[in-house]
Structure 1
Amino acid sequence: MKLQIPREFKNLKDYLDWLFKKYNTPDFINSDPIKFAHRFKNPQDIEVAGFIASTLAMGNRKIILLSNEHLFDLIGDKPYEFILEFDPFWYEKALNNFVHFAYRNIEGKDLLVIFYLLKQALRKYGSLKNLFLKYYDEKQPTIKQALSGFVKEIFSFDPPPKFNGIPESVKGLIPDPEKNSACKRLNMFLRWMVRKDSVDLGLWEEVDKSKLIIPLDTHVSKISRALGLTQRKTDSWKTAEEITFNLKKFDPSDPVKYDFAIFGLGVELKEQN
């Protein structure tokens, strides 16, 4: 599939800039998992809520939002405190039931492990930002090295009692870019935390937004190929990098802002078919 740029636009940059303005509005928030991060005012609550909501951003969007609603009913109005005080034994039964009101590919035991690992990370570093900044080097061209260190550190902590190591299913939910995973959900979380506008929250001011990598989901992947932003046939970290580097030609300081444009166009075209 190849998309033609509408005649009223001189080039692809003009078209993407128009799409960005169209979709990057506060109206976007309520139909996206980012809305769960927007519920909170405390920065520590925001980043914990954002990490959890982005981790569950897999599959159908309506189910993603519904599953997060159920989970945040359990978490309550203080996510940071919930994680700091998380007792895997106390919540084991409640989280085991998660699979019945969410979806099959993320189970309660996966969340139990993630929450327990996050608890240890927050107790050691105080915030997820502090953990990420430990590995962040502004001299690096992208956040790949920092993200890989962030993931490895999370998995260096102990699994919950009764678990013999970290399940592979959990490692699939928090992938390492060094293994060439596109890391869609982690890159989306970083977009929320680093960029700042009417949608993204911009809490991590120490991180340069020009180093972010686009969250590569089905819509972004398909539309990017149709627009000639990548020649790669499979979705991977290298594919996400190639798309991002091509988007830098249009905005070197903020290439990932076009995530809104490409994703929004993908959703719109899908609804038309």
Structure 2
Amino acid sequence: MKLKREELKDFLDNKVELYNNPKFIDSDPIQIPHQFSKKEDIEIIGFLTATIAWGNRKSIITNAKRMANLLDHSPFEFVMQHQESDLEKLQAFVHRTFNGYDFIQFITSLNHIYTHHNGLEAIFAKYAEANSLQNSIHKFKQHLFEIEHLERSRKHVSDPLKNSAAKRINMFLRWMVRNDNNGVDFGIWKSLSPRQLSCPLDVHSGNVARKLGLLKRKQNDGKALAELDQNLRKLDVNDPVKYDFALFGLGVFEGF
């Protein structure tokens, strides 16, 4: 399907309008952070939800709810004030290859991030570049695991500088940074701008992007992400990642 750029923009803008809508929340993992109102609670449960966001969407949502329950529905308070004994109940958690030991590691690492690095937003803002947060993701991963950690837990945070598309963490960043008053994304990280975001690239969005001529590269890796980013910025330099709604909606809901 080859459209001129103006036609393509119109087509995708219409799809953004359709899917960037609170009705979208019910079928999406973003519903979990929407159950909270405090900034730190939203970003912590948002990060944990995004971390397990692969596989069947129903089981992602079920298990993210379970995470919130295990954290007593106060993620920030749990991260900051837990005792060693409070972590035992997390051990039974499992989502695919993310298990209870990983969960405990992430809680411990998040405590370190808030205690020594002023929290999640501060780290991403510190290393941000004008049009990219990929270096920020790389640095965030370093800081997350600079304390004693399980080697196995590292694989649950992707590193764009190792040519990963880092789909889940780019999705998390979209949730935190985009602010368009539509009620889906939160826009609570004011120190960053939507123009710095990258599109969460997965099988669905990748396939749709290729059909629309927005992506030529066959693999869904870091190089493909850079190509897609470049093409989406031509459509909207200030908010390129709004097109995630269009690509995802076309792929998942319309079987485009």
TM over 0.5: yes
2:160 maps to 1:177:
yes
2:90 maps to 1:95:
yes
- Answer yes or no: is the 8 Å Cα contact 1:215–1:259 preserved in 2: yes
RMSD: 1.8
Aligned to 1:246: 231
Q: Using the alignment, how far apart are the partners of 1:174 and 1:87 within structure 2?
A: 25
Aligned to 2:218: 233
- Answer yes or no: is the 8 Å Cα contact 1:214–1:241 preserved in 2: no
How far is 1:89 from its partner? 4.3
What is the aligned residue count? 253
Aligned to 2:25: 29
How far is 1:132 from its partner? 1.8
- Could you list the runs of 5+ residues in structure 1 that have no partner in the other structure? 160-165
Aligned to 1:163: none
2:16 maps to 1:20:
yes
Task: Give the SS at the match of 1:136.
Answer: coil
Task: Give the SS at the match of 2:189.
Answer: coil
How far is 1:78 from its partner? 1.5
How far is 1:88 from its partner? 4.6
How far is 1:90 from its partner? 3.2
User: How do 1:1-273 residues align onto structure 2 when only pairs under 5 Å count?
Assistant: 3=1, 11-92=7-88, 94-99=89-94, 103-138=95-130, 141-159=131-149, 166-168=150-152, 170-197=153-180, 198=182, 199-270=184-255
Q: Using the alignment, how far apart are the partners of 1:208 and 1:111 within structure 2?
A: 30
Q: Using the alignment, how far apart are the partners of 2:222 and 2:84 within structure 1?
A: 33
1:105 maps to a residue whose letter is: T
TM-score (norm 1): 0.87
1:173-198 per-position Cα deviation (integer Å, ceiling 9, x unaligned): 11111111110111011101110122
TM-score (norm 2): 0.93
1:17-43 per-position Cα deviation (integer Å, ceiling 9, x unaligned): 000000000111121111111111111
Q: Using the alignment, how far apart are the partners of 2:19 and 2:168 within structure 1?
A: 19
- Answer yes or no: is the 8 Å Cα contact 1:24–1:260 preserved in 2: yes
2:127 maps to a residue whose letter is: Y
Between the aligned residues of both structures, percent identity stands at 39
- Could you list the runs of 5+ residues in structure 2 that have no partner in the other structure? none
Q: Using the alignment, how far apart are the partners of 2:229 and 2:72 within structure 1?
A: 36
Give every structure 1 segment of 4 or more consecutive aligned residues whose post-TM-superposition deviation is greater than 3 Å: 86-90
Change beyond 3 A, Cα 1:4–1:231: closer
2:14 maps to a residue whose letter is: W
Q: Using the alignment, how far apart are the partners of 1:52 and 1:104 within structure 2?
A: 14
Q: Using the alignment, how far apart are the partners of 1:36 and 1:120 within structure 2?
A: 23
